[in-house]
Structure 1
């Protein structure tokens, strides 16, 4: 049994082949792809059932893991196990308990590296879903009642915390070669309302995009803000056709093994 498996939900072999499939660590870590699933939760639970590694890395198909990323992950998990032997989740980008953005991650849609660089693992209340590391022995699974492709990074962390487990993020750089996101659509709003209903007793919760509140007004504020900032954000976004190796080199992440 391999210690690590990478799991991905993909609807596009073209996107997958230009990004995640180019990650050098796939020479030693198996990649499991779930195609055309009805929701992220369904895809990822299917991946859990189809694999047996103790550590499952759930990554978007537009993510690239630079050279040495697997060595860095092993080093980061060793650091984490020293302070939390029963850790449940780890991620490249999350929202701390103090609402700070913990990274660092390159985002093509924002044209920059986002998230602060912590010197030690930081406990978080949610993840950007671009990359989530799950420890199988935690017993966690994704909630298939949460339809669609949003907020499952917040949901899985909240599940862990209600069980007395912890979720963490740290300095685990990767490239998120995502396209420009114009607005928060109806599917996003539906997932937001589902999270409000499910976790009413735990609110407020902060996802990387919006605060989930009892009133729900924060969604409206974020939708208005997204519409008003569309032109500004479009100018920030870069072409996601740039080779991911070039993006990694520009970030100084051509080889992460030296940081391990």
Structure 2
């Protein structure tokens, strides 16, 4: 039995094969991969993966993520550094100070994003690209969040509400994501859900916007994206770029614990 299992919700076999499927740990079988297809929401897909596996550690990754050579060994080293209370760990998170911690490569932004922490950093939210969950924490995704957004923030707050820890750390990976020029209705619905569920903890800073009681920041996010559409388009790197090449250019061809 593997101590770590990788779970993914995918609607595109091609995207999966050209990104996560190319990860050396996946290709060589070091990290067993469980794929959920046609799921109505991220929470339902990921809870199903929890129920269908028995590894102590579950890594939930987007299908457009690539894990460079040595990533699985680096993950084990980072887990060993975590405080005993940890329930969830992420490659990219928003600290309690509002700063972003990584580092990860984002094709949609054409750059490496996130500060590099020397130690695990307590967070208030994750970007959903990659989330590590400790099975014996008992933490699960909320099936009432019927969305593909905000579950990175929700799982952090769920862990904290249960008295467990949520951290980000230096766990580099490639997010070969497409440019996001607009926030859709699904995003708006997830924002409203989080407003209601976590009203006693607001404001919460996510990787995309701030969740506030007034909701003003959601409106600002829509306006900002419209105004920045041209700039965002120019920043983005084509997702057809080989992920191994992107990792090499980041200096991440081989990760060493």
Say whether the fold is shared (TM-score over 0.5): yes
How far apart in 2 are the matches of 1:86 and 1:236?
A: 39
Whole-angstrom CA distance in 1 between matches of 2:64 and 2:164:
29
Distance (whole Å) between structure 2 residues aligned to residue 133 and residue 56 of structure 1: 6
Partner of 2:8: 8
SS of residue matched to 1:256: coil
Deviations 1:167-193 (A, max 9, x none): 000110000000111100111111100
1:30 paired with 2:29, answer no
**Greater mean alpha carbon deviation, residues 126-135 or residues 22-31:** 22-31
| Count of paired positions | 255
- Determine the structure 1 residue equivalent to 2:98: 99
> Displacement of 1:35 after TM fit?
0.3
Q: Deviations over 1:207-229 (max 9, x none)?
A: 10000000000100111001000
User: Which residue is 2:54 aligned to?
Assistant: 52
Measure, in 2, the Cα distance between the counterparts of 1:137 and 1:237.
39
SS of residue in 1 equivalent to 2:7: strand
TM-score (norm 1): 0.97
Structure 1 gaps, min length 5: none
| Structure 1 residue 202 displacement after superposition | 1.1
Partner of 2:217: 218
Q: Which residue of 1 aligns with 2:74?
A: 72
Partner of 1:247: 246
In the TM superposition, what is the alpha-carbon distance from 1:29 to its structure 2 partner?
Answer: 1.2
What is the root-mean-square deviation in Å for CA atoms of aligned residues?
0.6
> Could you say what secondary structure the match of 1:88 adopts?
strand
What is the alpha-carbon distance in structure 1 between the residues aligned to residue 79 and residue 66 of structure 2?
Answer: 19
Question: For 2:240, what is the secondary structure of its paired residue?
Answer: coil
For residues 85 and 99 of structure 2, the distance between their equivalents in structure 1, rounded to whole angstroms, comes to: 24
Counterparts of 2:147 and 2:250, CA distance in 1: 32
CA distance in 2, matches of 1:39, 1:186: 14
Q: Would you identify which runs of 4 or more consecutive aligned residues in structure 1 move more than 6 Å?
A: none
Provide, for residues 130-186 of structure 1, a one-character-per-residue CA deviation record: whole Å limited to 9, x for no partner. Answer: 000000000011001001100000000000111111100011000000011110011
Gaps of 5+ in 2: none
Residue 88 (structure 2) aligns with: 89
Residue 86 (structure 1) shift: 2.4
* Alpha-carbon distance in structure 1 between the residues aligned to 2:64 and 2:101: 20
Q: Deviations over 1:103-133 (max 9, x none)?
A: 0000000000000001111000100000000
Taking structure 2 as the reference length, the TM-score comes to: 0.98
